[in-house]
Amino acid sequence: MRAHLRTYYLRKWINAIVESTETSPSLAEMMREHLEVDWARLSAPPYEAIYAVHNKKERLIELRVVDARSYLDDVYRRGWALLRIGVNGALTTPEEEAEARAIFATDTFRSCRICHARFASWLEYYGHVKLAHLGVMPQAS
């Protein structure tokens, strides 16, 4: 799958992928293997960021993000960290979570949409949603 997105839609799309793992298997879980996510940024106009989700055999998803504002790389690193977690879900590695924690630093990584508890890490959030709210459907935001 290939898609062109503006930065606003990238944020919406990545958040939807991460939130979908609360109620359904991630892409990696469905394929039964951990997936890699890479990103690169083109520095000449038109500014674009490119994300690629792949395994050892093939590229599964490629996103080209049109960047009209020339955002700082931090925006794209956060998107990369979230996309890695979203496509891997329960197969997210401790290394990926540690990198996401470092990228998000002191910011809240995720807030529970049901009880509004804040979490600094993916695995804490994921475990909370799966255990504390078993069978409860999250509210649409």
pLDDT score, position 59: 93
pLDDT(5) > 80: no
Helix, strand or coil, per DSSP, at residue 42: strand
Residue 103 dihedral angles phi and psi, to the nearest 5°: -70, -40
Backbone CA torsion sign across 129, 133, 138, 141: negative
Compare 58 and 8 and report the one with higher pLDDT: 58
pLDDT score, position 58: 93
pLDDT score, position 68: 66
| Residues sharing a CB contact under 8 Å with residue 30, sequence separation 6 or more, in sequence order | none
For 33-85, what is each residue's pLDDT tens digit? 999 999 998 877 677 888 999 999 999 988 888 876 677 788 888 889 889 98
pLDDT score, position 138: 55
Cα distance between residue 24 and residue 36, in whole Å: 20
Cα distance between residue 18 and residue 126, in whole Å: 10
pLDDT(7) > 70: no
pLDDT score, position 88: 92
pLDDT score, position 87: 92
Q: Which of 91, 77, 95, 88 is nearest to 38 (CA)?
A: 77
Helix axis angle for 94-104 and 122-132, nearest 10°, is 110
Cα distance between residue 49 and residue 9, in whole Å: 13
pLDDT score, position 2: 52
